[in-house]
Amino acid sequence: MHPAEPQDPRRSVPRTDAVLTDPRVAAAVAERGRDVVKDAVRRAQARVRAGELAAGDLVEAVLTALPPAGTTLRRVLNATGAVLHTNLGRAQLSVAAVEAVVTAAGATDVEMDLVTGRRARRGRGTVAALRAAVPAAGDVHVVNNGAAALVLVATALAAGKEIVVSRGELVEIGDGFRLPDLLESTGARLREVGTTNRTSLADYRAALSERTGFVLKVHPSNFVVTGFTAGVQAGELAGELAGLGVPVVVDIGSGLLAPDPALPAEPDAATVLAAGADLVTASGDKLLGGPQAGLLLGQAGLVERLRRHPLARALRVDKLTLAALEATLRAAPNPTRDAVHADPAVLRERCTAVAEALRGSGIDVGVEPSAAVVGGGGAPGVELDSWVVSLPPDLAVPLRTGDPSVAGRVEGGRLLLDLRTVPADADGLLVAAVRGAGR
């Protein structure tokens, strides 16, 4: 007798149409779309042909390979100690903001008056909430990010003219993007005044001419200059330029709308406007704790001029952003404020509880004091007293690549997980993730 020849694995590969009729796969098609599921089926079939996967396990492999929730983005527990971590998406949305996004995902009255059935001002609820949050503003407008707010101002007020700005405020805002390049791309020219470390009121006064579009003040939100320095506050500039018809525009950057006792040196929109600034620009996804957006607040006539400019259409925000921003403005608590104002004593208790839950897991765990930061171009140089769970550094990669992903920071030969930037209701998830990484 001849020994039986091994069966060609290609003969055992289930046909695509047969796999798609499996109830679990059909449900995935309805949820994720046919093309996404078919791609996963083809990849699983290739594994069966290669002998890497048993034919009977193909459906399970297809379901496992599907991207979660229709996106390749993964949830990350931010344990870095940077409240606004740019690489992790800056501000985490509040529960109210997330619910608002879900509501806005369907058909909404974003641009319709439901009483008359006619067109209405886009995002009027968000605009009203922003006005209420900063009563000192004559009017407000929202664009898609902070840089866009400055671009709109420069284009509308200074295209073909000059923007007077201190040399010490021509910052790089991240990823190689520099403020001078951004502003000059609008057709405006920069008239630099003062020096890197010292600029006086006389420097600004000497630079004014019939070519001046506006005077710009930029808060250096990602660095601190110390030592022999001097600058001019927005109120001083406003007083000096009163009656000259030259607007004072202040980019406060981090999106703080009112003074915060935890961040006394951080400029806020209400104070800057009350001091006399004509326009303030800021980001929505930093200390405000909302979605990515650019905020414009100030004199009603100037804001209306910006809103009516043709470029404003290209920079407008979508309904999801409008919904999340309105919810952020109307609902007091959000993860950013919670993290900035977290009580160090409570953080210590949480760290101790996490460490106790990991005892007996074979992981070398400790608890120690540390310092967190605001991050994301906000409150440079400010440290927030915090506490961390200390772990072996070789857990850093398994934790980042686990489910859920946990991002910490490695310092002094240890992996530190700072609970100031982890929501309190996620401590259990954190413990489970560390146990899994330890295994």
The Cα–Cα gap between 108 and 435 comes to: 44
Encode 84-96: b = buried (16+ Cβ within 10 Å), e = exposed: bbeebbbbbbbeb
pLDDT in tens, 276-324: 999 999 999 999 999 999 999 999 999 999 999 999 999 999 999 999 9
Joined together, the tokens standing for residue 122 give 């886009």
Encode 357-386: b = buried (16+ Cβ within 10 Å), e = exposed: bbeeeebebebeebebbbbbbbbbebebeb
pTM to 2 decimal places: 0.85
Joined together, the tokens standing for residue 77 give 């527990």
Cis-peptide, bond into residue 404, ω within 30° of zero:
yes
Q: What residues are paired with 77 via a beta bridge?
A: 406
Long-range contacts, 233-236 (Cβ 8 Å, 24+): 233/275, 234/272, 234/275, 234/276, 234/277, 235/275, 235/276, 235/277, 236/201
The Cα–Cα gap between 333 and 322 comes to: 18
Question: How far, in Å, are 176, 230, 252 from residue 216 at the CA level?
Answer: 21, 16, 11
The mean predicted confidence, pLDDT, of the chain is 91
The Cα–Cα gap between 8 and 258 comes to: 71
pLDDT in tens, 210-234: 999 999 999 876 667 777 778 888 8
Strand pairing category for 366-375 and 189-193: unpaired
76: helix, coil or strand?
strand
Joined together, the tokens standing for residue 99 give 């619910």
> Angle at which helices 300-308 and 146-158 pack, to 10 degrees?
100
Contacts of residue 168, Cβ cutoff 8 Å, sequence gap at least 6:
194, 195, 196, 197, 198, 199, 220, 225, 229, 231
User: 26 and 20 in contact (C-beta within 8 Å)?
Assistant: yes
pLDDT of residue 339: 96
Tens-binned pLDDT, residue by residue, of the chain (439 aa): 455 455 555 567 989 999 999 999 999 888 888 888 999 999 999 988 888 888 888 999 898 888 766 677 889 999 999 999 999 999 999 999 999 999 999 999 999 999 999 999 999 999 999 999 999 999 999 999 999 999 999 999 999 999 999 998 888 776 777 889 999 999 999 999 998 889 999 999 999 999 999 999 998 766 677 777 788 888 899 998 888 999 999 999 888 999 999 999 899 999 999 999 999 999 999 999 999 999 999 999 999 999 999 999 999 999 999 999 999 999 878 999 999 999 999 999 999 999 999 998 899 999 999 999 998 877 888 899 999 999 999 999 999 998 889 999 999 999 999 999 999 999 999 999 999 888 7
The Cα–Cα gap between 388 and 372 comes to: 10
What residue type is assigned to position 52 of the chain?
Answer: E
Question: What are the E-state strand segments in 125-171?
Answer: 139-143, 162-166
